[in-house]
Amino acid sequence: WRQRNLMIVLSQFADIQKAHGELDAALAKYEEVLAIARALADELETPESLSDLSFSLNKVAGIEQARGNLDAALAKFEESLAIEQDLFSPSDFSDSVVGSARARNGVCWSTCQLTSCLLAMGNSSRAQTQLTAVEHLIPALEHPDLRDANLLDTAATFHERRAECETQLGDQTLAAASTAKATALRARIADIKSH
């Protein structure tokens, strides 16, 4: 647990550095977190340790993307998504709204992260393919009874990526529909956070 707690603290410092635009310092901390996460995942091979590894890969990739290192970012995003796809199992779906949504969240979030990079690279056709692959999972994340802001954020981000993708592909009608869905979800998130 000490190593995992260290990862959390380092990641929080890196988040602050990123928010202040200190990308090099944030990247160094996130890479430290990634090294610990990779070692723990190799040693433990538990769903939690693999999920931490996926999360850490996304953090490093996000900084690489922000710095314009799109190839490096893409490789990390792809590794993260592969981990989430391995962890994902329809047998994990529960009868509860939240449980069912959480079972889908990791693979959907990692797909959104990957498509962000693909869109930055101008590869909208591959981004569309990636989004289409998880589209059937999204309704559980936007269920009317769901009050989990993080899960709703994944659904909103999906629709934002879809809108960006459709815009790049020249379909303004689909882009507008996706933007409207994202806007409605962002309003639900704001309402949840205000109560």
pLDDT along the chain (195 residues), means of 10: 91 96 96 97 93 96 97 98 87 63 89 97 97 94 92 97 97 97 98 94
Token readout for 32 is 């430290």
Spatial contact of 56 and 30, defined as CB atoms under 8 Å apart? yes
Single-letter residue type at 85? Q
Give the model's pLDDT for residue 27: 97
Give the model's pLDDT for residue 46: 92
| Neighbouring C-beta atoms of residue 106, cutoff 10 Å | 22
DSSP state of 96: S
User: In this predicted model, what pLDDT tens digit does every residue of 116-133 receive, in sequence order?
Assistant: 999 999 999 999 999 999
Give the model's pLDDT for residue 118: 98
Give the model's pLDDT for residue 34: 97
Structure-derived torsion over alpha carbons of residues 92, 98, 104, 109, reported in degrees to the nearest 10: -150
Give the model's pLDDT for residue 92: 56
Count of H helices and E strands in the chain? Answer: 9, 0
Give the model's pLDDT for residue 71: 98
Give the model's pLDDT for residue 93: 54
User: In this predicted model, what pLDDT tens digit does every residue of 6-29 receive, in sequence order?
Assistant: 999 999 999 999 999 999 999 999
